[in-house]
Amino acid sequence: MGLIDVHAHFLLPDYVAAAERAGHVRPDGLPAWPEWSAQRHLDLMDNTGIAKSVLSVSSPGVHFGDDFRAQVLARRVNEAAAELGRQHPGRFGFFASLPLPDVDGALVEAQYALDVLQADGVVLTSNAGGQYPGDPSWDQLWRELDARAAVVFLHPTSPPQWRQVALDRPRPMIEFLFDSARAVADLALTGVFSRFPKVQFIVTHTGGVLPLLGDRLDPYRPTSGDLPSVSSELQGLWYDLAGTPVADIDHLLYGSDHCFTPASAVAAQIAALDQSPIAANWRTRTTANAVQLLGERVSV
């Protein structure tokens, strides 16, 4: 059974140019933007047994300080992703980018992407301009996504105070893992998970440092009101395979993180999983989980 890669990135020249104009010449402290092409991505998929990749724009997202330009850029990358799916039937799906923290613009783009472009869900960064996803101003967006039982792919980005905490190291090295955990904890402790239970969340890198934080969240729950058990809510989320799982096998998904992870590293990761005695049947299980979550449209 071919793999379904739920954590796969693509880059358009227009997107990279817009990011660089906004000052993101070294994205999140990395030396440079990686190169991406549909054909090289397909070659990687064919060489490693990946049947379908669900594409998304990675950090730093599409909002670089101007709401209108973010709306235009989100529409551009989403239409390009949909076109890739049409050009390569059955090989590419996508999670739609939204111009957050512009909630009104995000609502318009979510409706267009899900209804017209047939996106598999939406991608949100762990924070948007320093706003975390439990911010009350986002409730209208959560209501819309909950009404649709939409899939939300939650991808880390640099924390707003990265200059003080990253110590000149690339933020994906350390800070991404903490910002993912910060965003998920915020969603739990502000009641987003409990108030909008139909939204299906995918958390990257198996939740970052959430396995370490999970036991600490419940004892502090009374400080944030009468909320359900945070640890049980964490088990109801979906996680990709890069890290130590916080959930059981029924909620694990495959994710490569290509193109920010080079093709050679993706191939090595898959080979290691294939050879691991504790990861028996991981291809079948993660693909079946992806079909359960995303629907028959992604079946292979």
pLDDT in tens, 250-269: 888 999 999 989 999 899 88
- Please state whether 170 falls in left (phi above 0), alpha (psi between -120 and 50) or beta: beta
**Domain spans of the chain?**
3-298
Contact at 8 Å (CB) between 51 and 45?
yes
Q: What is the pLDDT of residue 300?
A: 62
Residue whose structure tokens are 């933020």:
171
Phi, psi of 9 (to 5 degrees): -110, 150
110 neighbors 98 (Cβ within 8 angstroms): yes
Q: Which two tokens stand for residue 102?
A: 């512009």
* C-alpha–C-alpha distance, residues 265 and 144, integer Å: 38
Q: Which two tokens stand for residue 130?
A: 């320093």
pLDDT band at 189 (very low <50, low <70, confident <90, very high): confident
Does residue 211 contact residue 244 with C-beta atoms inside 8 Å?
A: yes
User: Which H or E run contains 194?
Assistant: helix 192-195
Q: How many CB atoms lie within 10 A of CB 193?
A: 23
pLDDT band at 246 (very low <50, low <70, confident <90, very high): low
pTM: 0.86
Judged against a pLDDT cut of 70, whether residue 196 lies above it is answered with yes
* pLDDT over 90 at 247, yes or no: no
- For the segment 106-119, the average pLDDT, to the nearest whole number, is 98
Q: Mean per-residue pLDDT for 141-167?
A: 96
pLDDT of residue 280: 82
pLDDT-based confidence at residue 208 (cuts at 50, 70, 90)? confident
Look at domain 3-298 and name its CATH class: alpha beta
The DSSP code for 36 is -
The encoded tokens of residue 72 equal 């235009």
Q: What is the pLDDT of residue 229?
A: 75
**What string of DSSP letters covers 65-88?**
S-HHHHHHHHHHHHHHHHHHHHHS
Confidence tier at 243 by pLDDT (50, 70, 90)? low
Q: Say if residue 1's pLDDT is above 80.
A: no
